[in-house]
Amino acid sequence: MVGMNAAWLLPAIPAGAFALLLLVRNFLPRKGDWVAIGAVTASFVLFFFVLHDLMTRLGPNFHGVSTGFTWLKIDNFVLRVGFFTDPIAIVMLAAVLVVSLMVHVYSTGYMHGDSRYGWFFTVLALFTAAMSTLVLADNLLLLYVAWELVGICSFLLIGFWWERQSAAEAAKKAFVTTRVGDVGLLIGVILLWKKVGTFDIQTVLHAATSGQIGHTYLTVALLFMLLGAMGKSAQFPFHVWLPDAMEGPTPVSALIHAATMVVAGIYLLARMLPAYMVITGLGTLIMVIGMITAIGAAVIACAQTDIKRIIAYSTLSNLGFMFVAMGAHALTGGMFHLLTHAFFKALLFLGAGSVIHAVETQEVGDLGGLWRKMPITMGTFVIACLANAGLPVFSGFFSKDLVLEGVMHGNTPYYVALLAWVFLSGIYTARLFMLTFFGPSRDHHRYEHAHESPPNMTLPLVVLAVLTLLAGWLALDSVGRALGFPGGVGEFVFVHEPEAYRFSFTVAFAATSAGLLGVLATMYLYWGGGPERARRFADYSPDVYALIRNKFYVDELYQAGINYGVLGLSHAVAWFDRYVVNDTGVNGTAQLTGWLGYRLKFLQNGKLPTYALAMIVGVLVMAIVALSMHS
């Protein structure tokens, strides 16, 4: 019976599709998009078998099943390709595979007619394989390799339309920013390997929790890994690449920059959580970083005018929220939010893509009143928005509630801050759908041309909307048990002990009120009069508005820091760099090497006696030195 031992197939099938597409996509009908879709579907179906097998084996002593093979063994340096299946991995895989499949189907419509259509699906297949490997990896080295691989896919896909300068720039920015974090991850991995002697994750975790790794050493290693997580999950101050990543095609934004790759950092934290829990203080650090990101991004989102940017900042904000969850050791809530967020955020992006596809603009200022023209898109979009705001019934409510529950215990100031965050989420979410779909249309020309998207694009929207509506109920024990799980999500994903879903009326009420307040207030602002009322609000304090509009000038700060801060230092450094490092060091070394080679080559003058002389000189020198060493 196919079970967890076949988990390696989950990344292998898309990898095979990638190889196939890489070589022969131009010879296949439709450039082979069906190969990619078929591969993801196969993995998706297989996923259910693996899940089933996992559920039959769940029990108090079950930690996960590992399968794999040894790739390289030189003395005591062992490289293993292994896959570890456990509830955490399953939850993430669900997110990855579902969204990936939806995006694949959606892209057949969105990317239709693109000159590099086949290449798009090739890289998508590679990404799915790499992401699945990352999730299932049982050792840190394999995880790192997969980590880098998804980074490369992200680079390729952000810069998919590389003829556009801004796209190429954005791809570079994403790659460089995450690279900085990746170095941290690698250092952390190596540090742990040196101490524990293996890359195997479960062994490392065991060593960490049983105190085999010194406190300081462990802290340093985990901090470095945190850098990697922060880079990939775009936490402050590494967040600058994510909004720019919107230059990529919208399906890419949905898959990579909302649902899967960006949550890799959170997944890493979830995996290593037992180790992080050993060091007090790390949790607080993570919560603070997450909080800054969450609230900062939410505020910025309120003043953006590009539809994808708004959603991007919303993603950033939710990533911060998940970071807070991990910092509070609320594994269940964090993973569950990861899952639900994947669904509704992907839905938001795909819906936005549907809009963009129809009206060919991304500026919210040009939209409006589209609900009449694109009902399915609107309907699914609103569902996603309400989930994002955390309103009851929708999945966002349940996942946020779980996290809030986890944070509340002993972390009251954070809890209050999170409530503010929920409020802000409500605001920007409502603003988003109000401006896009409701109110009078602001650009009649575009409005006339707007049309609902074809079924291959609306079907994924509907599927994701259904999931957004239903997935939340998995938090409840009764629902979980009905489906065959031992209980709600808390009984499935947990750190030390199962956590039954506690429904605290206070928490739920507080969160819902905050969210509703934000939504209704914004709806009021934008209803009927469109953005005028909002503009008056903005004009109320233009500086603050400008501040928010321009993302708190963080990008400019970086640029200025680079320009001025370094420039002041840089005159001296530049001089040093040009004359010492470059001319003397680099050019100089190159020239010296070349000159040396040039002079030396004339030693070989073609004359035999010279050659013989060289040999004798060698003999004499060696003999003299050897003999003098002995006497």
Partner 1 sequence: MNHYEVLAPELVLLGLAFALVTLELLFPQLRKDLVAYLTAASAIGVLVASAFFANRSDSFKDLIQLDNYTTFFRILFLGTAALLAIASAHLVRDKLSNAGEYYGLLLLGVIGATYMAAASELLTAYIALELLNFTLYVLVSFDRKDPRSGEAGLKYILLSAFASALLLFGISFIFGVTGTTSYAGIRHALEAGIGEYRGTLVVGLVLLLTGLGFKVAAVPFHMWTPDAYEGAPLPVTAYISIVAKAAGFALFLRLFSQAFMPVISDWRWMVALLAALTMVFGNLIALQQVNIKRLLAYSSISQVGYMLIAIAALSHDSATALLLHLGGYAITNLAAFIAIIAFYNATGGEEIRDFRGLAERHAGLAMTLTIALFSLAGMPLFAGFMTKFILFQAAAQHGLLWLSAFGVVTSMISLYYYLMVIRQMYVLKPRDGDGRLRVPLLTSAVLVVLALGIFFVGIWPTPLFRAAASATRLLF
Partner 2 sequence: MIPLDQVLVFSGILFALGVYGVLTRRNAIAILMSVELMLTAVNTNFIAFGVFHRPSLAVGLVFAVFVITVAAAEVGLALAIILRIYRQRTTANVDEVDILKW
73 binds partner 1 (CB under 8 A): yes
Pick one of 470, 520, 546, 615: the residue that binds partner 1 (CB under 8 A): 615
82 phi, psi to nearest 5 deg: -135, 150
Pick one of 59, 113, 410, 609: the residue that binds partner 2 (CB under 8 A): 609
599 binds partner 2 (CB under 8 A): no
Return the one option of partner 1, partner 2, none that residue 623 interacts with (CB less than 5 to 8 A, by type).
partner 1
Residue type at 324 in one-letter notation:
V
601 binds partner 2 (CB under 8 A): yes
How many whole angstroms separate alpha carbon 117 and alpha carbon 481?
43
Strand partners, 137: 83
Return the one option of partner 2, partner 1, none that residue 582 interacts with (CB less than 5 to 8 A, by type).
none
How many whole angstroms separate alpha carbon 50 and alpha carbon 621?
70
Q: Among the residues of 75-200, which ranges form H helices?
A: 87-110, 117-136, 140-158, 165-196
Pick one of 613, 621, 622, 625: the residue that binds partner 2 (CB under 8 A): 613
Q: How far is the CB of 79 from partner 1 (least distance, A)?
A: 10
Residue type at 302 in one-letter notation:
C
602 binds partner 2 (CB under 8 A): yes
How many whole angstroms separate alpha carbon 432 and alpha carbon 435?
6
Answer whether 264's CB lies under 8 Å from 232's CB: yes
496 binds partner 2 (CB under 8 A): no
x/- map, 556-595, partner 1, by CB under 8 A: -------------------------------------xx-
617 binds partner 1 (CB under 8 A): yes
Q: How far is C-alpha 102 from the geometric centre of its chain's CA atoms?
A: 17
631 binds partner 1 (CB under 8 A): yes
Pick one of 69, 75, 165, 540: the residue that binds partner 1 (CB under 8 A): 75
606 binds partner 2 (CB under 8 A): yes
Residues 6+ apart with CB under 8 A from 571: none
Check residue 390 and give left, alpha or beta (phi > 0: left; psi -120 to 50: alpha): left
Report the interhelical angle of 215-232 vs 264-271 (nearest 10°).
Answer: 160
How many whole angstroms separate alpha carbon 593 and alpha carbon 488?
68
Closer to partner 2 by CB, 56 or 610: give it. Answer: 610
Neighbours of 173 (CB within 10 A): 18
Piece in contact with partner 1 (CB under 8 A), picked from 364-372, 462-470, 500-508, 602-610: 602-610
Piece in contact with partner 1 (CB under 8 A), picked from 398-406, 464-472, 476-484, 604-612: 604-612
How many whole angstroms separate alpha carbon 511 and alpha carbon 391?
8
How many whole angstroms separate alpha carbon 182 and alpha carbon 16?
26
Q: How far is the CB of 152 from partner 1 (least distance, A)?
A: 14
Closer to partner 2 by CB, 165 or 631: give it. Answer: 631
Residue ranges binding partner 2 (CB under 8 A)? 601-602, 604-609, 612-613, 616
Residue ranges binding partner 1 (CB under 8 A)? 71-75, 593-594, 596-598, 600-601, 603-604, 606, 608, 610-612, 614-615, 617-619, 622-623, 626-627, 630-631
